[in-house]
Structure formats: C-alpha cells, structure tokens
Amino acid sequence: MRINRIFRLGIGAIAVALAATACGGGSDAGTATDHAREGKLTIGIKFDQPGLGFRDKDGAYQGYEVEIAKYVAGKLGVQSDKITFKEAPSAKRETMIMNGEVDFIVATYSITDGRKEKVDFAGPYFVAGQALLVKKENTEITGVESLVGNKKLCSVKGSTPAQNVKDNYAKDVQLVEVDNYSQCIEALRSGSVDAVTTDDIVLAGYSGQSPGELKLVGKLFTTERYGIGLKKGDQETRTKINDAIEAMIADGSWQKAFEETFGSLGTMTLTPPTVDRY
Ligand code: GLU
C-alpha cells in the first residue's frame, strides 16, 4: 500500500515536470496550427526596422513583414487583432522558435543550412542581398572591395552579414557587433563606425527615414532568401504557410503590401521568389 502510494506520487511528480517543460517557453504546448485553430497566434517580427517590421510610438505595428504575417495568419484562420507580435532580435530567433515563445517568425530571417538544423523555414517570400550603408559625404567606401584599412563596420549579433564579415573580411575591417540595426544606425550617425552592413532592404528602410543623410553603396555581395521560421518538423504548418505565401503572390497582395509599406516602386516591378518546399 505504502509503496503503491509512493509510486503514484512519483508518477504525479513526473507529470508535473513534463507539464512544466511543455510550458517552458511561456506559451502552451501544441503546434502553430493548433494555436491557430484556437484562434490566436504569436508571431515574431522586428520592432525597429522601418518599412519591414516596426513598432511605432503608439505601439502599432507597421511594415511589409507585418503585412505578410497578417496575411499568413488570416489564411490559418486567425484575425489580425488576435495576433500577439513579439520582438525577435536576430540572435534570438532560433531559440524563440525552439522554446515555443512564438508560433513563427517573419523578421528578415535568411534561410540557411545552419539555421535549418534547429528550425524549419517556409518561403522564401523575399530575396535580398548584403550591402553597405554609409554617410552621404563618405567617398572612401564604395563597395565591398573598398573594405580595407581597418574601417569600422557595424552589424548585428547572430546575423548572416556579421558572420560573412567574420568569415571573409576579418583581416581588413573591425566588426562592431550590436543587438539590433537601429543601434548600428546611431553609431553611423555619430561617426563611431564608418559603415553599416546588412541586407539592402533593411538598410534602404533606414536611409528612407532620413533622405539625403545616408546612402547605400556598391553591389550586393550575398543572396539572402527570407523565410518564415517555424518549429522544426512541423510539416503541417509549414505547408500551410507555403500555401499562404503562394496565394499572397498570386492574388497581388504580396506586391501591394510591399508598395504600401515600404514605398512605391515607381516603374520597377518586384520579382516574386519561388517557394521552396524542401
Ligand atoms: N537576413 C539576415 C539574417 O537573417 C540579416 C538581417 C537580420 O539580421 O535580420 O541574419
């Protein structure tokens, strides 16, 4: 009898421990599709990247990736007002997905083999490339080939451009790594770094904020395919998000969202990427 009681207590303790693990990330267990069926989603975006993922003074979310997140959520059956947006800094994205802190992430998140070991990606929904941003008056930095003479280059921890600088340009430049790109922009404005490097579209978002002050220089020197990051192995949600991205491209909302948030393209047209159902 006594043994039996201890045994039962033991099982109870295990059950409590398992429940605690499932809740470890602050959100309940279940896939993104389960959460969508319950009518709510938590989506990671950037909070400080103008035109892409931006939280304004009043706490409203704006940007191309906010629109993509809303469209995808809609296709999963979730209204915009039932989305909780969470800030997903570059270095924390894999962890946030693995911990279940977010259902998925739409945050200038390049699809890479390294990241695919920890998370899965739907998409791509956009293709960008690494570029350089300098002050308007800078004539020394004209492109990646001018990165000589120990210039100070700012980028963000956990990002592919910072890794690319470490891998390929470490002997020619000093890399200053910070937590988000707005800190890099501040450093550029104050003159404590010579350039900021990340994807062209991210840089264009900042330079568009203060025309005439900052400029993008040189050619793009990487290809960054933006995916929607989600829990590894959640094939059901990945297929649904891929379907949503294709629908968004096909019905014109993809291009419209870009023009309405990021800016008019004038006569230019955007080429939509092909979704990769790997
Ligand atoms: N697309 C790159 C990346 O995923 C740079 C932009 C970012 O840090 O969000 O690392």
Residues 118 and 248 in one domain: yes
Q: How far apart are CA 119 and CA 132, in angstroms?
A: 28
Q: What is the pLDDT of residue 13?
A: 47
Domain count of the fold of the chain: 2
Question: Does residue 238 belong to any structural domain of this protein?
Answer: yes
Residues 60 and 188 in one domain: no
Token digits for 184? Answer: 């890099």
| Owning domain of residue 202 | 130-217
Question: Does residue 267 belong to any structural domain of this protein?
Answer: no
Question: Does residue 7 belong to any structural domain of this protein?
Answer: no
Question: Does residue 9 belong to any structural domain of this protein?
Answer: no
Question: Does residue 3 belong to any structural domain of this protein?
Answer: no
Question: Does residue 173 belong to any structural domain of this protein?
Answer: yes
Q: What is the pLDDT of residue 76?
A: 98
Token digits for 13? Answer: 């303790």
Helices 64-75, 235-250: axis angle to 10 degrees equals 120
pLDDT digits (tens, 9 = 90+) for 222-262: 999 999 999 999 999 999 999 999 999 999 999 999 999 98
3-state secondary structure of 44: strand
β-pair partners for 213: none
111 CA → ligand 1 middle, Å: 9
3-state secondary structure of 168: helix
Instruction: Kindly state if the Cβ of 199 falls inside 6 Å of ligand 1.
Output: yes
Residue 249's CB is within 10 A of a number of other CB atoms, namely 17
Q: What is the pLDDT of residue 1?
A: 39
Q: What is the pLDDT of residue 211?
A: 82
Atom of ligand 1 nearest to the CA of 109: 4
CA 249 to chain CA centroid, nearest Å: 19
Domain of residue 91, CATH code: 3.40.190.10
Residues 60 and 119 in one domain: yes
Residues 153 and 175 in one domain: yes
Question: Does residue 150 belong to any structural domain of this protein?
Answer: yes
Q: What is the pLDDT of residue 266?
A: 67
Instruction: Kindly state if the Cβ of 52 falls inside 6 Å of ligand 1.
Output: no
CB of 76 closer than 8 Å to CB of 33: yes
Question: Does residue 12 belong to any structural domain of this protein?
Answer: no
Atom of ligand 1 nearest to the CA of 158: 10
Residues 250 and 118 in one domain: yes
Q: What is the pLDDT of residue 5?
A: 43
The residue written with tokens 């950037």 in the block is 46
Q: What CA–CA distances, in Å, run from 62 to 51, 56, 57, 69?
A: 7, 8, 11, 11
Q: What CA–CA distances, in Å, run from 143 to 188, 253, 255?
A: 16, 34, 29
Instruction: Kindly state if the Cβ of 108 falls inside 6 Å of ligand 1.
Output: yes
Atom of ligand 1 nearest to the CA of 156: 8
Bridging pattern class, strands 53-55 and 130-135: unpaired
Low-confidence ranges of the chain (pLDDT < 50): 1-26
